[in-house]
Amino acid sequence: MTGPALRATAVSKRFGAVNALKDVDFVLEPGEVHALLGVNGAGKSTFIKIISGVYTRDAGTLEVDGKAVDCRTPHDAMMAGIATVQQHPELVSDFTGYENIFLGREADRPRFLARIDRTALKRRGDALLARFPVDIDLSRKLSEMPAVEREIVAILQALAGDHIRVLILDEPTSTLTEVEKAVLFRLMRTLKASGISILYITHRLEEVIEIADRFSVFRGGRKVATMTPAAAAEQGLSLAELMLGETLSSVFPEKAAFPPGETVLSVERLGHGRAFSQVGFEVKRGEILGIFGLVGSGIDELSKVLFGALPPTEGTLSLKGRPLRARTPREALKAGIFLVPGDRRLEGLALTQSSVFNITIGNLGRASGFAGILRRALNRRKSEEFAARVALSPPNLSMPVSGFSGGNQQKIVVAKGLFADADLYIFVEPTVGVDIGARAKLYGLMRDLSRTAAVIVMSSDCDEVHGLADRSFALYKGRPIMRAGEIMTRNQLLLAGILGEARDA
């Protein structure tokens, strides 16, 4: 083994008139966790796709362990020793962990009409666990595993070849709880100790300090900084400001300056099976109501009941003083309720369709005219207007939504909400996978929406709920935890969501 695990020299990539990457030099040392930071459109996704063989570079060189490599396909990258775990790994829910790890590689060598030897599959999987010890039962189906174990299966799948030297992890903690994140970080340290180098992409800046040996910042298609978290702290540098290239005054907008208006939604003793029960609150036009809850607290099910995707098993709902019985999302949309779901890819977007299609589908009455004929020119113009409001990058409304980064996909869902022109907006985990600059933009849009509508924000990020909301409460194992007046400090909210106690802190 000679030289860095990975070296990129003067790597450049252009898409038409856009310089996505400009002469990027990058070094990943053996056994290093190196975080890659940058706002959406900074160039980090393009750089990762070049390394992993999804894109071909226009100029520059790549080396793995001191040897020149030419990664023109993902297979080339794998053969060179580079494996990637995407933000949304393509795994099979009905298959076991063993079956997913060796999917497409069930036999030791290709054979025509070869039968799967499950005993051998288990032996190979156990050998992999011996190399990278982690507490996981690979005989279970993926659908039975918690999020962190599914992420571990994806990592083991990437490392199934014993020649892998570089592992790329793209937003691996985006759906994990703090406890699950600790499990993943333990595995990462094990991989690091075994000599595997990890390129770690995250928008959660606190994770950089916790897990990374060094970080690099991309801005405007260039790498603008590489240093250790300790060096950044010594120099008084803000990671967020390095990413933005400007002073970060405040991520959260100012809260409502005037009393809220009419009550838009009233909820009394609402429940859905074992997911949650006895939930009651009201939200008014002109305010943001925050609901903090960890994974499994019931916030996802609550959002779906409010949006008509799940039926309530108890309680009542009223919208603007009238009983609300939205039995489907279509009826909820018609009533003036819009949901930005927690899983934008599965529940919020048609990934193969364009941005115009996705933005306008939330209000077909507005998007179509006489006899249901689409107003194509109007829809294009309004889509361009809303795409500009959410700062979609690149502003290419014709390409499939699947071609956008996770943060920009979230912006498209929000733009769909703007087009829907609703009375009540419900945001669930609104900034998962969204960089700090785009996050501030989205928070500002939520505050703008609250001036004319009611807004509910449900999130497992306590700081997000507390920073945004005018009033807030926690959902703990399906039951609401609140204080008189629903005005809670950040620590009170955190304790309520974690311990289920509305006590002084």
Alpha-carbon span 444 to 430, nearest angstrom: 12
Burial of 227 from C-beta contacts in 10 A (0-12 / 13-18 / 19+): middle
- Is the pLDDT reported for residue 346 higher than 90? no
The CATH number given to whatever domain includes residue 332 is: 3.40.50.300
In 3-state terms, what secondary structure has residue 318? strand
Inform me whether the pLDDT recorded for 273 exceeds 60: yes
Strands 337-340 and 322-323: unpaired
Given a cut of 80, whether residue 106 has pLDDT beyond it is no
Write down the pLDDT at residue 114.
Answer: 59
Q: Please report whether residue 250 resides in a domain.
A: no
Is there a domain that residue 17 lies in?
A: yes
How confident is the model at residue 488, as a pLDDT?
82
- Residue 2 confidence (pLDDT) above 70: no
Q: What is the mean pLDDT of the chain?
A: 87
Structure tokens at 115: 């039968």
Number of domains comprising the chain = 3
Residue-level pLDDT at 28:
96
Q: Alpha carbon 362 to chain centroid distance? A: 22
* 205, 312, 319, 423, 429 from 267: Cα distances, Å: 36, 11, 9, 16, 21
* Nearest alpha-carbon partner for 225 in 502, 440, 35, 503: 35
What is the mean pLDDT of the segment spanning 290-304? 90
At residue 107, the pLDDT reads 63
Whole-angstrom CA distances from 117 to 107, 158, 177 are 8, 21, 36
How much is the pLDDT for 77?
A: 93
Q: Do 431 and 439 meet the contact criterion of CB atoms below 8 Å apart?
A: yes
Question: Do 25 and 164 belong to one domain?
Answer: yes
Residue 322, pLDDT score:
94
Whether residue 13 is found in the same domain as residue 26: yes
Q: Do 379 and 495 reside in the same domain of the chain? A: no
pLDDT at 493: 86
> Would you state the structure tokens that stand for residue 419, as one six-digit string?
């087009």
pLDDT per residue over 137-171, tens digit each? 999 999 999 888 999 999 999 998 778 999 999 88
Shared domain for 307 and 172, answered yes or no, is: no
Question: Which residues, including other chains, have CB under 8 Å from residue 77's CB and lie 6 or more apart?
Answer: 51, 52, 53, 69, 71, 83, 84
Its pTM stands at: 0.66
Give the confidence band of 212 by pLDDT, cuts at 50, 70, 90: very high
The Cα–Cα gap between 258 and 470 comes to 11
Do 143 and 240 share a domain, yes or no?
yes
Is 440 part of a structural domain of the chain?
no
Do residue 368 and residue 330 come from a single domain?
no
CA count, 13 A, side-chain hemisphere, 237: 19
| pLDDT value at 335 more than 90 | yes
What is the three-class DSSP state of 147? helix
Kindly state whether residue 436 falls inside one of the protein's structural domains: no
pLDDT in tens, 453-500: 999 999 988 888 988 999 999 999 999 998 766 678 888 887 888 778
Co-location of 122 and 169 in the same domain: yes
Which residue would you say has higher pLDDT here, 177 or 125? Answer: 125
Residue 110 and residue 199 share a domain: yes
**Could you tell me if residue 253 is inside a domain?**
no
Domain shared by 354 and 319, yes or no:
no
Question: In a 3-state reduction of DSSP, which class is residue 503?
Answer: coil
Per-residue pLDDT band for 203 (boundaries 50, 70, 90) equals confident
Distance CA 312, CA 166 (A): 48
Domain with 396, as residue range(s), is 344-421
What average pLDDT does range 403-413 have in this prediction? 84
Residue-level pLDDT at 112:
55
Q: Is the pLDDT score of 109 beyond 60?
A: no
Helix axes 178-193, 147-158, angle to 10 degrees: 20
Is pLDDT of 241 > 70?
yes
Of 47-61, 214-228, 272-286, 425-439, minimum mean pLDDT range: 425-439
Q: Which amino acid makes up residue 355?
A: S
| Structural domain includes residue 276 | yes
Residue % of the chain over a pLDDT of 90: 50
What does the pLDDT look like over 36-76, one tens digit per residue? 988 777 888 899 999 999 999 999 999 999 999 999 999 99
In a domain, 442, yes or no: no
Mean pLDDT of the 389-409 span: 85
pLDDT of residue 171: 85
More confident residue, 351 or 113: 351
Same domain, yes or no: 353 and 325: no
The highest-confidence range among 145-159, 366-380, 394-408, by mean pLDDT, is 145-159
Under the banding of pLDDT at 50, 70 and 90, the label for residue 250 is low
- pLDDT at residue 110 is higher than 60: no
pLDDT over 80 at 438, yes or no: no
Let me know if residue 249 belongs to a domain. no
User: Which phi and psi (to 5°) does residue 472 adopt?
Assistant: -155, 160
Query: Do 216 and 80 have their domain in common?
Result: yes
From the number of C-beta atoms within 10 Å of its C-beta (0-12, 13-18, 19+), residue 366 rates as middle
* pLDDT (0 to 100) of residue 471: 93
Same domain, 79 and 205: yes
The answer to whether residue 209 scores a pLDDT higher than 80 is: yes
Most confident of 64-68, 114-118, 172-176, 501-505: 64-68
Distance of alpha carbon 432 from alpha carbon 173, whole angstroms: 9
